[in-house]
Structure 1
């Protein structure tokens, strides 16, 4: 009996020692607040992302996190944020991202990356005469090299997405300083075609838009509405602009679709439908279901020919809007117009978020993979 009691006491003691050791092993110590944030960033992505290591190996990811943690005592807030951008880039999931912090400032200009180059579309009033001009270099570094540097910070899966996302990064002077492009943390010099140089300093300034005082094209006339429509060309065309996959507070998408149906039923002239998704960056793909069902009805009852359905897409067609484009393509084989979608047809999504404990930066990550197409094209236009 005494031996049995001693054995039980031995087991309990061993269990307590083992538990105590395990707790010591699980305790992670941090040198500073950023050290903790980087640890939480890496650990949460590893445990929460649908498939974090589809592009980067777990060993490389862990190595990058460990290296950045070792540097947090010497790097500035902006530099650590930039290093986190670089890690996000290697994941290669455009739905997984980290926000920029308040330590970043903004330069008073905006650009669009068009077929003929990087064009100024907004700038401070002092330099408004340069609206529409092409940027050939920044701080003496050619624009192609600038793009190569900045692309290492962006989570993108095709060139259209890069052309869209990069424009906001190009306004951040701290990034130019990080890459050694500018010696200053708050200014850069734009080198324009024709030998013109403009020095810009980070400050809150109202931008003059290239579109100020000009007649806007139809697709830019009402971009704040989630969805709206207009009859065109003596009511031969019905133009539907679908800007966001989200219900309006004042008009449900079901009611909106009913209005479209009533208009078509009352009209003797509408024979072609244009669905403009070029500004739709996503939301809930199921929102568009009533419209797609209505088109099915019209096609099945020979009220509308499939070849008279047109879909406009572009670099900002992303996420759920890409899924809706695929649904339209598979159901009706419509005529697609525009440029390749910024969203990849097969992609990660169903985004969730967490907040880093000290910097309070928000991190978005994917919880689902949408495998729509066997060939895995990089954009919608690669399918056609």
Structure 2
């Protein structure tokens, strides 16, 4: 296999999903690490424009011609695109990854995929390793398994693949994640935190900047990696099922002088509303991940990088709250604060 893109020092990357949570973070960190970054955006005002040190191209990840054109000359394609609010998941996820695969094979490029725990079923719990069996029991999990199977096949056809699997994402940009959609209300001050975990059930979280940093550092070592690689991140392990909520409580109390209360997610109400709200329906499918501990082992990652990029929990939570508009940037206790609105997950749409 010709790995010319690796050995000739090509540092041009295409990011699909660059306006989303993980995509925007990877694009920014690649740029800061000296990469030339392109991003595909359906709503771009012009066919091509420079913004924030990134070249934005008008195009659609569902259109193969757009992806092939945008990927010309790229050594890396970051596949971080997802349908907003999980809409049309089953119809668009596989066609989009097929387009990325076609472009990667044509360019002999490395595909980077943010992985999830959806791929796994009870036979692999509670500790997931890179080679754990993938027997999911959900629709999204089955699609994720198909994605990775197609990517593995692509790695035998000239592409290279790097999958970095982390827990539930949270970070400075709200998106398809539990903290922003199921625990808090973006853009509103935090007066209550809806906690979805059962008492004492551990849960794994992945802080987006740490996940992006891990991807960038692995890409720097891609010449030493095989054509198809998976790595698991330990991220932030919430051993009690309350530690993330308690971190939000601590950060908000320190910044505003008022501690929000932690309430149980009203699963019964979400179940009633799910038939009418797509996002709630998709979140309900993942209910099982809050009823049993599912954790990832990161020994392989540490063996390659020497350590896992890791931001302290309170620092990560504070950055996430500021980015979500739940806290003002740089705000300290004491001063006038905006009016607070009570909300729980039950009122979210």
TM-score, normalised relative to structure 2 = 0.27
Higher relative contact order (CA 8 A, sep 6+): 2
The structure having more radius of gyration, on CA atoms, is 1
